[in-house]
Amino acid sequence: PAASLRRAMDIVQSRDDQLENLLGAMEELNGELEGVREKELAWAAEREELLSQLKESEIRKDHDAKSNNNNNNHQNSALSLAEREELIQLRSEVAEYEVEFKGLKNQDITIRKLEAKIEQLEKDREHELQTELSKAREELAEVEGRRATEALEREAITSRKVQSLE
């Protein structure tokens, strides 16, 4: 029984160590995720600002095109070209932010999976501990039963010897 209990304790200790390592990794990932989420919020705000600028630029372009349709065609097309370049740049930045958001979502999913794995390991550890303890109790009860039987047999033998001597 003592060996089984030691083995159970060793298993529990190794599982505790594994859980500590996983929890440490999770805390580290959560810290990183918090930093990433802060960046994500900043990027989202910047993205919204860029989209707002993009819309304003398009509105300005449409308005300028309508109001200056007959005036200075050469100057108007040069302004349009600059605006188009700005539009392309803004769209490119928005696309980059969208790629970053997808990466952040993947990290978040990984963290959730690790949290579920930790929870499952804790449940497994609890189950294994209960199993080991049950085995140890059964072995202890069996050993105690044998000892009690042996003691009763010795007592019976001693009683017979005493009776035969009388």
Q: What is the mean pLDDT of residues 1-12?
A: 78
Is the pLDDT at 153 greater than 90? The verdict is: yes
CA–CA separation, 11 and 8 (whole Å): 5
Mean pLDDT lowest among 70-74, 79-83, 118-122: 70-74
155 exposed, middle or buried (CB, 10 Å; 0-12, 13-18, 19+)? exposed
Q: What is the mean pLDDT of residues 112-118?
A: 84
Cα dist. 12→3, 47, 126, 137 in Å?
A: 14, 50, 9, 17
Is the pLDDT at 130 greater than 60? The verdict is: yes
Q: What is the mean pLDDT of residues 36-51?
A: 80
More confident residue, 76 or 65: 65
Token pair belonging to 147: 């000892």
The pLDDT-based confidence of 77 (bands split at 50, 70, 90) is low
More confident residue, 147 or 43: 147
pTM for the full model?
0.42
Chain-centre distance of CA 65, in angstroms?
53
Is the pLDDT at 151 greater than 70? The verdict is: yes
Token pair belonging to 106: 């993947």
Mean pLDDT lowest among 1-5, 107-111, 139-143: 1-5
Mean pLDDT lowest among 2-11, 123-132, 139-148: 2-11
